[in-house]
Structure 1
Amino acid sequence: MKHKLTNALNRFVEDGKLIIGICNGFQVLVRTGLLPGTLAMNTSAKFECRWVDLETQESLCVFTKGVKAQVYLPVAHAEGRFTAPANVLSELEANHQVVFRYAESRYPNNPNGSDSNIAGICDATGKIFGLMPHPERFLTKWNHPRWTRLVKTQDTCSEEGDGLVIFKNAVNYVKANLL
């Protein structure tokens, strides 16, 4: 995979284009070397599928400008535990490349046991973004697992899901920088 995709992906990135890798896509970005680290088997040793709270980190990521401080997104993976050597983790932190963290460190809230609770990272340019949660599964309020209860109890339930802004940011970046 690395040899077949890396050159094409590198040309794509050199042209200033954006790449988002969600779940298995994040695994591809790591395996091709476009993002550091490894995605290993969950510490539970099983497939994990549920919604989780994430904390948005201050980062360089083009995709997450203006994203709420805390978002709620689904995960669905067996090999999603982000792990990296201590020096790589320190570098990601220092360079503001950690984009999302699981809001809590313990299972089941951190569904995979990721180092430093990392759920998503970006490259040094902020244009390559990899994450295990699925923002594409929460684009409207109707995607939220409790939307009917939220409506009945008059709790706020925005028309837009937490994941939509990630894709809007990508569109806005392309319009402003690539067209």
Structure 2
Amino acid sequence: GMLALKRDYNNIHNSYSSLLNRKLEAEIAVNLEKKQKGEQFRIIDPARLPRKPISPDLIRLFMIILAVGLGVGAGLIFVLEFLDSSLKDHDKFEDDLGLAVLATIPKVYQKKDYRLKRLNQVLTAFSILVAACLLAEFVLLVFYGVEPIMQIVQNLAGI
């Protein structure tokens, strides 16, 4: 008896408190709407992601970086060759020192040298392939933008 009445009273009291809180929240929302009546905002045109960035001009930036990179590389090669005072062949030796060359000793290559040369060739080819892929990706991004490229990648990945 008494226990059931107390339980029912608590349930009804909790329901009443919940309804009272919701009523207060609704009144607050109505008051806010009345205060902001003149400040209602509507989205007329939804925002769209631009296809290409406005700045920087990627083609111009790429050309500048390419020119600077090639210039630095060529300059470095020139400086290293200029600073290299070693004598590479017997003609240069005779011209520079005025002495006759009696004999030259050829370089003897071992298996290790051939393996290192082959590894160097493979790594060079791989580096060129990676650079070509990066260049192709850059060109695609510049001319087509990010969205179409992302769509292609998602289609390939099966997303």
TM-score range, shorter chain: under 0.3
Larger relative helix fraction: 2
For normalisation by structure 1, the TM-score amounts to: 0.16
Q: Which has the larger radius of gyration?
A: 2
Larger strand percent: 1
Higher relative contact order (CA 8 A, sep 6+): 2
